[in-house]
Structure 1
Amino acid sequence: MKRAMIIGAVLAVAGMTGVGVLYGRDYLDGMRFETAMSEIGKTEEANAGQWPQPQETCFFCHGPHGQSFNSWYPALSGQPQAYVVAQLHAFASGQRDNPYMGPLARALSDEQIKSLAVYFAQQRPARNETHQADKALEMRGLALIQARSCQACHGASLLGKDQAPRLAGQGEAYLASQLAAFKSGRRHDPRGAMNGIAATLSDDDIRSVAGYLAGLAPEELASGTQ
Protein backbone atom coordinates (compact mmCIF):
# COMPACT_ATOMS: atom_id res chain seq x y z
CA MET A 1 0.00 0.00 0.00
CA LYS A 2 2.78 2.41 0.95
CA ARG A 3 4.63 1.63 -2.27
CA ALA A 4 1.47 2.23 -4.37
CA MET A 5 0.89 5.59 -2.66
CA ILE A 6 4.48 6.69 -3.28
CA ILE A 7 4.35 5.64 -6.93
CA GLY A 8 1.05 7.51 -7.34
CA ALA A 9 2.48 10.67 -5.81
CA VAL A 10 5.58 10.57 -7.99
CA LEU A 11 3.63 9.89 -11.17
CA ALA A 12 1.33 12.79 -10.33
CA VAL A 13 4.35 15.08 -10.11
CA ALA A 14 5.68 13.69 -13.39
CA GLY A 15 2.28 14.21 -15.01
CA MET A 16 2.15 17.85 -13.94
CA THR A 17 5.61 18.54 -15.32
CA GLY A 18 4.68 17.00 -18.68
CA VAL A 19 6.75 15.12 -21.18
CA GLY A 20 7.89 17.98 -23.37
CA VAL A 21 11.44 18.86 -24.17
CA LEU A 22 11.64 21.37 -21.36
CA TYR A 23 10.71 18.78 -18.71
CA GLY A 24 12.14 15.67 -20.34
CA ARG A 25 14.61 14.98 -17.53
CA ASP A 26 11.89 15.17 -14.85
CA TYR A 27 9.78 12.70 -16.82
CA LEU A 28 12.76 10.37 -17.30
CA ASP A 29 13.47 10.46 -13.57
CA GLY A 30 9.86 9.59 -12.85
CA MET A 31 10.01 6.60 -15.20
CA ARG A 32 13.24 5.42 -13.56
CA PHE A 33 11.60 5.73 -10.15
CA GLU A 34 8.54 3.73 -11.21
CA THR A 35 10.77 1.01 -12.68
CA ALA A 36 12.78 0.90 -9.46
CA MET A 37 9.62 0.47 -7.38
CA SER A 38 8.45 -2.35 -9.64
CA GLU A 39 11.75 -4.18 -9.38
CA ILE A 40 11.80 -3.77 -5.60
CA GLY A 41 8.34 -5.34 -5.43
CA LYS A 42 9.55 -8.34 -7.42
CA THR A 43 12.57 -8.71 -5.14
CA GLU A 44 10.35 -8.55 -2.06
CA GLU A 45 8.08 -11.28 -3.39
CA ALA A 46 11.00 -13.53 -4.36
CA ASN A 47 12.95 -13.09 -1.13
CA ALA A 48 10.09 -12.50 1.29
CA GLY A 49 12.11 -9.47 2.32
CA GLN A 50 10.80 -6.29 3.86
CA TRP A 51 10.22 -3.32 1.53
CA PRO A 52 12.14 -1.22 0.73
CA GLN A 53 15.32 -2.80 -0.50
CA PRO A 54 17.32 0.45 -0.54
CA GLN A 55 20.32 -0.63 -2.61
CA GLU A 56 18.09 -1.79 -5.46
CA THR A 57 16.33 1.57 -5.46
CA CYS A 58 19.58 3.53 -5.58
CA PHE A 59 21.00 1.40 -8.40
CA PHE A 60 18.66 2.75 -11.07
CA CYS A 61 19.93 6.33 -10.89
CA HIS A 62 23.19 6.16 -8.95
CA GLY A 63 24.65 3.03 -10.55
CA PRO A 64 25.88 -0.29 -9.14
CA HIS A 65 27.33 0.09 -5.64
CA GLY A 66 26.43 3.78 -5.86
CA GLN A 67 28.92 4.44 -8.65
CA SER A 68 27.16 6.63 -11.17
CA PHE A 69 28.54 6.88 -14.68
CA ASN A 70 26.02 9.52 -15.71
CA SER A 71 27.06 13.16 -15.56
CA TRP A 72 23.65 14.22 -14.21
CA TYR A 73 23.46 11.78 -11.29
CA PRO A 74 25.85 12.00 -8.33
CA ALA A 75 27.97 9.05 -7.28
CA LEU A 76 27.35 7.81 -3.75
CA SER A 77 30.35 5.51 -3.65
CA GLY A 78 32.98 6.73 -1.22
CA GLN A 79 30.77 9.50 0.15
CA PRO A 80 31.37 10.16 3.87
CA GLN A 81 28.90 8.32 6.06
CA ALA A 82 27.84 11.48 7.89
CA TYR A 83 27.11 13.26 4.59
CA VAL A 84 24.83 10.49 3.29
CA VAL A 85 22.92 10.42 6.60
CA ALA A 86 22.52 14.20 6.62
CA GLN A 87 21.30 14.38 3.02
CA LEU A 88 18.78 11.56 3.38
CA HIS A 89 17.35 13.29 6.45
CA ALA A 90 17.30 16.58 4.50
CA PHE A 91 15.37 14.94 1.66
CA ALA A 92 12.97 13.30 4.14
CA SER A 93 12.24 16.57 5.93
CA GLY A 94 11.90 18.61 2.74
CA GLN A 95 14.88 20.77 3.63
CA ARG A 96 16.41 19.53 0.37
CA ASP A 97 13.57 19.47 -2.13
CA ASN A 98 13.37 16.67 -4.69
CA PRO A 99 10.14 15.00 -5.89
CA TYR A 100 11.81 11.58 -6.15
CA MET A 101 14.33 11.49 -3.34
CA GLY A 102 11.81 12.95 -0.89
CA PRO A 103 9.37 9.99 -0.98
CA LEU A 104 12.23 7.49 -0.97
CA ALA A 105 13.92 9.06 2.04
CA ARG A 106 10.67 9.37 3.99
CA ALA A 107 10.09 5.64 3.54
CA LEU A 108 13.41 4.80 5.24
CA SER A 109 13.85 4.23 8.95
CA ASP A 110 16.77 5.77 10.80
CA GLU A 111 18.39 2.34 10.88
CA GLN A 112 18.03 1.91 7.11
CA ILE A 113 19.49 5.36 6.52
CA LYS A 114 22.48 4.49 8.69
CA SER A 115 22.94 1.15 6.91
CA LEU A 116 22.86 2.83 3.50
CA ALA A 117 25.39 5.42 4.63
CA VAL A 118 27.75 2.73 5.93
CA TYR A 119 27.39 0.75 2.72
CA PHE A 120 28.13 3.61 0.33
CA ALA A 121 30.98 4.97 2.45
CA GLN A 122 32.72 1.61 2.09
CA GLN A 123 32.49 1.50 -1.72
CA ARG A 124 35.56 2.42 -3.74
CA PRO A 125 34.93 5.68 -5.63
CA ALA A 126 35.54 6.15 -9.34
CA ARG A 127 35.15 8.99 -11.83
CA ASN A 128 31.58 9.45 -13.08
CA GLU A 129 32.25 9.91 -16.77
CA THR A 130 34.79 9.84 -19.54
CA HIS A 131 36.00 13.38 -19.17
CA GLN A 132 37.31 15.50 -22.04
CA ALA A 133 40.23 17.44 -20.57
CA ASP A 134 40.41 21.19 -21.09
CA LYS A 135 43.64 22.33 -19.49
CA ALA A 136 42.89 26.05 -19.52
CA LEU A 137 39.45 25.49 -17.99
CA GLU A 138 40.81 23.11 -15.37
CA MET A 139 43.65 25.43 -14.36
CA ARG A 140 41.12 28.20 -13.83
CA GLY A 141 38.91 25.83 -11.83
CA LEU A 142 41.84 24.79 -9.62
CA ALA A 143 42.73 28.42 -8.94
CA LEU A 144 39.13 29.19 -7.94
CA ILE A 145 39.00 26.18 -5.62
CA GLN A 146 42.28 27.06 -3.95
CA ALA A 147 41.28 30.71 -3.54
CA ARG A 148 38.10 29.66 -1.74
CA SER A 149 39.81 27.01 0.41
CA CYS A 150 37.42 24.25 -0.66
CA GLN A 151 39.86 21.66 0.70
CA ALA A 152 39.26 22.94 4.24
CA CYS A 153 35.80 21.34 4.25
CA HIS A 154 35.97 18.75 1.46
CA GLY A 155 39.39 17.31 2.34
CA ALA A 156 42.86 17.78 0.91
CA SER A 157 42.04 15.55 -2.09
CA LEU A 158 38.42 16.76 -2.30
CA LEU A 159 37.24 13.24 -1.45
CA GLY A 160 34.92 14.56 1.26
CA LYS A 161 35.00 14.40 5.03
CA ASP A 162 32.42 14.53 7.81
CA GLN A 163 29.31 16.20 6.37
CA ALA A 164 31.10 17.63 3.32
CA PRO A 165 30.66 15.48 0.19
CA ARG A 166 33.18 13.99 -2.19
CA LEU A 167 33.57 16.35 -5.14
CA ALA A 168 36.44 14.64 -6.97
CA GLY A 169 35.22 12.76 -10.02
CA GLN A 170 31.56 13.70 -9.76
CA GLY A 171 29.70 14.39 -13.01
CA GLU A 172 30.35 17.81 -14.52
CA ALA A 173 26.67 18.49 -15.21
CA TYR A 174 25.68 17.54 -11.65
CA LEU A 175 28.41 19.69 -10.08
CA ALA A 176 27.48 22.70 -12.21
CA SER A 177 23.78 22.31 -11.44
CA GLN A 178 24.39 22.12 -7.68
CA LEU A 179 26.67 25.16 -7.64
CA ALA A 180 24.04 27.05 -9.61
CA ALA A 181 21.38 25.90 -7.12
CA PHE A 182 23.45 27.12 -4.18
CA LYS A 183 24.05 30.41 -5.97
CA SER A 184 20.36 31.01 -6.67
CA GLY A 185 19.24 29.81 -3.24
CA ARG A 186 17.27 26.83 -4.59
CA ARG A 187 19.54 24.65 -2.47
CA HIS A 188 20.45 25.70 1.07
CA ASP A 189 23.54 24.83 3.08
CA PRO A 190 22.52 24.83 6.78
CA ARG A 191 25.88 26.42 7.61
CA GLY A 192 25.53 28.99 4.83
CA ALA A 193 29.05 28.35 3.55
CA MET A 194 28.16 26.95 0.14
CA ASN A 195 25.56 29.62 -0.57
CA GLY A 196 28.10 32.31 0.27
CA ILE A 197 30.85 30.77 -1.85
CA ALA A 198 28.59 30.04 -4.83
CA ALA A 199 27.30 33.62 -4.77
CA THR A 200 30.82 34.80 -5.66
CA LEU A 201 31.03 32.59 -8.76
CA SER A 202 30.13 33.70 -12.27
CA ASP A 203 28.62 31.24 -14.74
CA ASP A 204 32.07 30.82 -16.30
CA ASP A 205 33.54 30.22 -12.85
CA ILE A 206 30.99 27.48 -12.21
CA ARG A 207 31.84 25.78 -15.49
CA SER A 208 35.54 25.96 -14.66
CA VAL A 209 35.14 24.54 -11.15
CA ALA A 210 32.82 21.76 -12.35
CA GLY A 211 35.20 20.90 -15.20
CA TYR A 212 38.20 20.67 -12.89
CA LEU A 213 36.44 18.53 -10.30
CA ALA A 214 34.93 16.19 -12.90
CA GLY A 215 38.40 15.57 -14.31
CA LEU A 216 39.82 14.29 -11.02
CA ALA A 217 40.22 10.53 -10.61
CA PRO A 218 39.09 9.65 -7.06
CA GLU A 219 40.29 6.06 -7.36
CA GLU A 220 43.82 7.40 -7.86
CA LEU A 221 43.51 10.09 -5.22
CA ALA A 222 42.27 7.55 -2.67
CA SER A 223 45.28 5.31 -3.31
CA GLY A 224 47.72 8.24 -3.40
CA THR A 225 48.81 7.60 -7.00
CA GLN A 226 47.87 11.00 -8.42
Structure 2
Amino acid sequence: MRRLWLACALLSGWALPAAGQTPAERGAALAEARSCGACHGERGVSATPEIPSLAGQQAGFITLQLVLFREGLRDVPAMAAPVEGLSDGELEDLAAYFAALPHAAAPDRARRRVAAYNNGAALVARLRCGTCHLPSLAGQNQVPHIAGQREDFLAATLRAYREDRRQGSDTQMNGVMRGVRDSEIDAIAHYLSQR
Protein backbone atom coordinates (compact mmCIF):
# COMPACT_ATOMS: atom_id res chain seq x y z
CA MET A 1 0.00 0.00 0.00
CA ARG A 2 2.84 2.39 0.86
CA ARG A 3 4.46 1.81 -2.54
CA LEU A 4 1.17 2.55 -4.26
CA TRP A 5 0.81 5.79 -2.30
CA LEU A 6 4.39 6.84 -3.16
CA ALA A 7 3.88 6.01 -6.83
CA CYS A 8 0.65 8.07 -6.90
CA ALA A 9 2.38 10.94 -5.16
CA LEU A 10 5.26 10.93 -7.63
CA LEU A 11 2.99 10.61 -10.67
CA SER A 12 0.75 13.44 -9.49
CA GLY A 13 3.73 15.78 -9.06
CA TRP A 14 3.53 16.10 -5.29
CA ALA A 15 6.78 17.20 -3.76
CA LEU A 16 7.83 14.88 -0.98
CA PRO A 17 10.17 16.43 1.57
CA ALA A 18 13.61 14.92 1.41
CA ALA A 19 14.55 13.03 4.52
CA GLY A 20 16.80 14.99 6.81
CA GLN A 21 16.35 18.36 5.12
CA THR A 22 16.14 21.41 7.35
CA PRO A 23 13.25 23.86 7.02
CA ALA A 24 15.64 26.33 5.35
CA GLU A 25 16.71 23.71 2.80
CA ARG A 26 13.10 22.87 2.01
CA GLY A 27 12.40 26.60 1.79
CA ALA A 28 15.29 27.08 -0.66
CA ALA A 29 13.76 24.46 -2.95
CA LEU A 30 10.35 26.14 -2.68
CA ALA A 31 11.84 29.58 -3.37
CA GLU A 32 13.44 28.16 -6.51
CA ALA A 33 10.24 26.41 -7.61
CA ARG A 34 8.11 29.51 -6.98
CA SER A 35 10.66 31.87 -8.62
CA CYS A 36 10.91 34.13 -5.56
CA GLY A 37 14.28 35.42 -6.79
CA ALA A 38 12.71 36.94 -9.90
CA CYS A 39 11.35 39.79 -7.78
CA HIS A 40 13.07 39.56 -4.39
CA GLY A 41 16.50 38.96 -5.88
CA GLU A 42 18.94 36.12 -5.83
CA ARG A 43 19.62 35.11 -2.26
CA GLY A 44 16.82 37.45 -1.13
CA VAL A 45 18.46 40.81 -1.92
CA SER A 46 16.12 42.80 -4.16
CA ALA A 47 17.34 44.96 -7.04
CA THR A 48 13.76 45.72 -8.10
CA PRO A 49 12.25 49.12 -7.22
CA GLU A 50 9.76 49.00 -4.34
CA ILE A 51 10.25 45.25 -3.83
CA PRO A 52 11.68 44.39 -0.39
CA SER A 53 14.79 42.38 0.30
CA LEU A 54 13.95 39.28 2.35
CA ALA A 55 17.45 38.09 3.24
CA GLY A 56 17.93 38.11 7.01
CA GLN A 57 14.33 39.10 7.64
CA GLN A 58 12.52 37.84 10.75
CA ALA A 59 11.02 34.40 10.02
CA GLY A 60 7.90 35.18 12.03
CA PHE A 61 7.31 38.32 10.00
CA ILE A 62 7.76 36.55 6.66
CA THR A 63 5.44 33.73 7.72
CA LEU A 64 2.76 36.19 8.79
CA GLN A 65 2.97 38.13 5.53
CA LEU A 66 2.79 34.95 3.45
CA VAL A 67 -0.30 33.81 5.36
CA LEU A 68 -1.91 37.22 4.78
CA PHE A 69 -1.13 36.96 1.04
CA ARG A 70 -2.37 33.37 0.79
CA GLU A 71 -5.62 34.12 2.60
CA GLY A 72 -6.27 37.27 0.54
CA LEU A 73 -6.06 39.49 3.63
CA ARG A 74 -3.23 41.51 2.14
CA ASP A 75 -3.87 42.49 -1.46
CA VAL A 76 -0.66 42.31 -3.47
CA PRO A 77 -1.62 40.73 -6.81
CA ALA A 78 1.96 39.71 -7.63
CA MET A 79 2.03 37.53 -4.50
CA ALA A 80 -1.17 35.58 -5.21
CA ALA A 81 0.33 32.93 -7.50
CA PRO A 82 3.56 32.34 -5.55
CA VAL A 83 1.67 31.43 -2.35
CA GLU A 84 -1.30 29.67 -3.92
CA GLY A 85 -1.82 26.21 -2.47
CA LEU A 86 1.10 26.35 -0.04
CA SER A 87 0.58 24.79 3.38
CA ASP A 88 1.40 26.55 6.64
CA GLY A 89 4.48 24.35 6.91
CA GLU A 90 5.67 25.34 3.44
CA LEU A 91 5.21 29.01 4.29
CA GLU A 92 7.28 28.47 7.43
CA ASP A 93 9.96 26.71 5.34
CA LEU A 94 10.14 29.68 2.94
CA ALA A 95 10.45 32.02 5.91
CA ALA A 96 13.19 29.87 7.44
CA TYR A 97 15.13 30.01 4.17
CA PHE A 98 15.02 33.79 3.82
CA ALA A 99 15.69 34.33 7.53
CA ALA A 100 18.82 32.16 7.29
CA LEU A 101 20.32 34.19 4.44
CA PRO A 102 22.82 36.92 5.27
CA HIS A 103 21.17 40.32 5.43
CA ALA A 104 21.62 42.63 2.48
CA ALA A 105 25.06 44.04 1.87
CA ALA A 106 26.16 47.08 3.84
CA PRO A 107 24.67 50.29 2.45
CA ASP A 108 26.66 52.44 0.07
CA ARG A 109 27.88 55.17 2.42
CA ALA A 110 28.75 57.34 -0.58
CA ARG A 111 25.00 57.70 -1.18
CA ARG A 112 24.37 58.93 2.35
CA ARG A 113 22.84 62.38 2.50
CA VAL A 114 24.00 63.67 5.88
CA ALA A 115 21.11 66.07 6.56
CA ALA A 116 18.45 63.50 5.59
CA TYR A 117 20.24 60.78 7.57
CA ASN A 118 20.44 62.93 10.72
CA ASN A 119 16.83 64.12 10.35
CA GLY A 120 15.72 60.51 9.84
CA ALA A 121 17.62 59.40 12.94
CA ALA A 122 15.86 62.08 15.01
CA LEU A 123 12.45 61.08 13.61
CA VAL A 124 13.06 57.38 14.27
CA ALA A 125 13.89 58.28 17.88
CA ARG A 126 10.86 60.59 18.21
CA LEU A 127 8.49 57.99 16.74
CA ARG A 128 10.06 55.32 18.98
CA CYS A 129 10.63 52.86 16.15
CA GLY A 130 13.14 50.99 18.31
CA THR A 131 10.42 49.99 20.76
CA CYS A 132 8.97 47.37 18.42
CA HIS A 133 11.74 47.04 15.83
CA LEU A 134 14.41 47.01 18.60
CA PRO A 135 17.13 49.66 18.98
CA SER A 136 19.17 47.90 16.27
CA LEU A 137 16.10 48.04 13.98
CA ALA A 138 16.64 44.33 13.29
CA GLY A 139 13.08 43.51 14.31
CA GLN A 140 11.82 40.63 16.38
CA ASN A 141 9.32 37.83 15.92
CA GLN A 142 6.57 39.27 13.70
CA VAL A 143 8.09 42.76 13.60
CA PRO A 144 10.27 43.25 10.50
CA HIS A 145 13.97 43.94 10.16
CA ILE A 146 13.95 47.46 8.70
CA ALA A 147 17.62 48.49 8.91
CA GLY A 148 19.30 48.22 5.53
CA GLN A 149 16.02 47.69 3.63
CA ARG A 150 15.50 49.28 0.20
CA GLU A 151 14.88 53.03 0.59
CA ASP A 152 12.19 53.21 -2.09
CA PHE A 153 10.33 50.27 -0.56
CA LEU A 154 10.48 51.81 2.93
CA ALA A 155 9.17 55.17 1.71
CA ALA A 156 6.30 53.59 -0.23
CA THR A 157 5.39 51.33 2.69
CA LEU A 158 5.41 54.14 5.24
CA ARG A 159 3.19 56.25 2.97
CA ALA A 160 0.80 53.31 2.56
CA TYR A 161 0.57 52.96 6.35
CA ARG A 162 -0.05 56.68 6.76
CA GLU A 163 -2.80 56.63 4.14
CA ASP A 164 -4.43 53.45 5.51
CA ARG A 165 -3.69 51.59 2.27
CA ARG A 166 -1.74 48.97 4.18
CA GLN A 167 -2.27 47.31 7.51
CA GLY A 168 -0.23 44.74 9.31
CA SER A 169 -1.74 42.25 11.70
CA ASP A 170 -2.84 45.31 13.67
CA THR A 171 -3.18 49.03 12.95
CA GLN A 172 -0.31 50.24 15.12
CA MET A 173 1.86 51.39 12.20
CA ASN A 174 -1.07 53.30 10.72
CA GLY A 175 -1.37 55.28 13.95
CA VAL A 176 2.38 55.88 14.20
CA MET A 177 2.55 57.26 10.66
CA ARG A 178 -0.57 59.45 10.86
CA GLY A 179 0.42 63.07 10.30
CA VAL A 180 4.01 62.31 9.22
CA ARG A 181 4.86 64.50 6.22
CA ASP A 182 6.31 63.18 2.95
CA SER A 183 9.64 64.90 3.58
CA GLU A 184 9.83 63.21 7.00
CA ILE A 185 8.99 59.82 5.50
CA ASP A 186 11.75 60.32 2.94
CA ALA A 187 14.24 61.13 5.72
CA ILE A 188 13.16 58.10 7.78
CA ALA A 189 13.47 55.81 4.73
CA HIS A 190 16.91 57.20 3.93
CA TYR A 191 18.14 56.75 7.49
CA LEU A 192 16.82 53.19 7.75
CA SER A 193 18.27 52.18 4.39
CA GLN A 194 21.68 53.48 5.45
CA ARG A 195 21.77 51.54 8.75
Sort the TM-score into its range (normalised by shorter chain): 0.7 to 0.9
SS at match of 1:72: coil
Instruction: Give 2:15's aligned residue.
Output: 50
Q: Is contact 1:70–1:128 with CA below 8 Å preserved after alignment? A: no
User: Partner residue of 2:114?
Assistant: 135
Measured after TM superposition, the shift of residue 128 of structure 1 is 8.0
Aligned runs of 1:1-226 on 2, under 5 Å? Answer: 50=15, 53-56=29-32, 57-127=35-105, 130=108, 132-216=111-195
In structure 1, C-alpha distance between the alignment counterparts of 2:158 and 2:106, rounded to whole Å: 17
Identity fraction in percent: 34
Equivalent pair of 1:127/1:214 in contact (CA under 8 Å): no
What is residue 9 of structure 2 aligned with on the other side? none
Deviation readout 1:170-207 (Å, 9 max, x if unpaired): 11110000001111111012321100011131011110
Secondary structure at the residue paired with 1:186? coil
Going from structure 1 to structure 2, the CA distance change for 1:127 and 1:206 (only over 3 Å counts) comes to farther
TM-score (norm 1): 0.69
Tell me which amino acid in the other structure corresponds to 1:180. R
Tell me the amino acid that sits aligned with residue 141 of structure 1: G
Higher relative contact order structure (alpha carbons within 8 Å, sequence separation ≥ 6): 2
Q: Offset of 1:111 from its aligned partner?
A: 1.4
For 2:139 and 2:49, locate their aligned partners in 1 and report how far apart those are by CA, in whole Å: 19
Distance 1:128 1:66 in 2: 14
Q: Does the CA contact (< 8 Å) of 2:36 and 2:82 recur in 1?
A: no
State how far apart, in whole Å, the 2-side matches of 1:176 and 1:93 are: 26
Question: Take 2:169 and 2:46, find their aligned partners in 1: how far apart are those partners?
Answer: 26
Shift of 1:80: 0.9
Structure 1 unmatched ranges of 5 or more: 1-47, 217-226
Residue 61 of structure 1 contacts residue 68 of structure 1 at CA under 8 Å; is this kept in 2? yes
Amino acid across the alignment from 1:167:
I
Question: What SS does the aligned partner of 1:100 have?
Answer: helix
| Structure 1 residue 130 displacement after superposition | 4.2
What is the aligned residue count?
A: 169
Runs of 4+ in 1 over 6 A off after TM superposition: none
